[in-house]
Amino acid sequence: MDTVDGLLAGRDDSVRAAYTRVVEAARSAGPVFEDAKKTCVHLAPAADASAFAGVHPRKTGVLLNLRTSAPISSARVRKTEQISRNRFFNEILVESPDQVDAELAGWMREAYELSAVKA
């Protein structure tokens, strides 16, 4: 079984710190279920809800992928991909806990609220 600790094992302390701050910011929007996969952790409002974020540990930080209803227009977003008519993946590299600021927390809250809505 894949675990968060397993994914973060052997990585620099800054990776774990960035991951922890990302999850804390997500929890400011509501309860967060961490679903560890082979290469990333999916964050969702509940075990049976769709993920609003993917957190991919990297050598120097975490790659955060937020699912939103519109592309995020910011220099912080490395890549945006339209996955359906009203859904976008927005990729943000978080290399330091300090990069998890009010702007990023706001984007996470929007993604959280979108995922929490039952279609």
Q: What pLDDT, in 10s, does the model give residues 72-86?
A: 999 999 999 999 999
Length of the chain: 119
pLDDT at 96: 94
66 touches 109 (CB < 8 A):
no
pLDDT at 118: 58
Closest CA to 70 of 55, 53, 82, 54: 82
pLDDT at 1: 52
CATH number of 4-116: 3.90.1150
Section 92-112 average pLDDT: 96
Its pTM stands at 0.92
Q: What pLDDT, in 10s, does the model give residues 32-77?
A: 999 999 999 999 999 989 999 999 999 989 999 999 999 999 999 9
Closest CA to 10 of 54, 49, 59: 59
Question: Within 10 A of 40 (CB to CB), how many other CB atoms are there?
Answer: 20
Say if residue 108's pLDDT is above 70.
Answer: yes
pLDDT at 26: 96
Domain residue limits, the chain: 4-116
